Amino acid sequence: MLAHARHDTAPSPVLSAVPKSAPERARSVPAADVASIGLSHPSDWVEMLELVDRCFPYATEEMMGWWLCYQRPLLHVARLDGRVAGFVHVQARPESDTLWINILAVTEEFRHRGIARQLLAHCERLAAEWGLGRLGLQCHEDNASALRLYALQGHAQVGEDFHADAGGRYIVHDKALPASAIAAAVRTPAADPRWRCIAHRLIYRAWTRRRARTTR
């Protein structure tokens, strides 16, 4: 599904979503915390995969393995208090001048602390640095909290799509970025060197085997 930024030809999902939040309740946590956002690292994988298992059952083991091992420049993690607070996977679509958000996920205990907003702002910075003028994503029609967040952050609803294997109807969103912030030319990130991808794949396979043994 990767366009100009394609690093290989493995499957990617066609959806974007912030997982549904728990019902509103009184909170003692701050309204916002500043997270550190950077590329994913194998030390993040356990928390990331557990979050995906809980929130995105349609995300296959094959898909996540491909992202983690071969698409590290497109997978960005928010860290807070030494933990994975959330992550986002993006892809460049220069033919439509768009940075597409495939998945944006926030760990349950870190929700309502500004992490999703910071990840969206990070995506805007990536788009501008890569010479892309728009952000695009899809969100499930029943995910009221995420739809509200996207509206507040200036993402317009521009259409809909249906995915029977991932829960039904999704609302397509689009946001135009300020022209003054966008780089003059498209400069998407280079793929990791082959040796690093192979090393990550070996680590991932070892981790998934351990995981399979402990969950039997």
Tens digits of per-residue pLDDT, 100-130? 999 999 999 999 999 999 999 999 999 999 9
Contact 90, 76 (CB under 8 A): yes
Which pLDDT belongs to residue 163? 77
What beta strand segments (E) does 48-181 contain?
A: 75-80, 83-93, 98-106, 134-140, 156-163, 168-176
Low-confidence residues of the chain, pLDDT below 50? 1-14, 17, 21-30
Which pLDDT belongs to residue 21? 47
In Å, how far are 41, 91, 141, 203 from 152, measured between CA atoms? 31, 23, 16, 40
* CA separation for the pair 134, 127 (Å, rounded): 7
Residue 33 CA from chain centroid, whole number? 19
Say what the pTM is. 0.84
User: Quick one: which H or E segment has residue 36?
Assistant: strand 36-39
* CA separation for the pair 212, 215 (Å, rounded): 5
Q: Count CB atoms within 10 A of the CB of residue 28.
A: 4
Which pLDDT belongs to residue 28? 42
Which pLDDT belongs to residue 216? 53
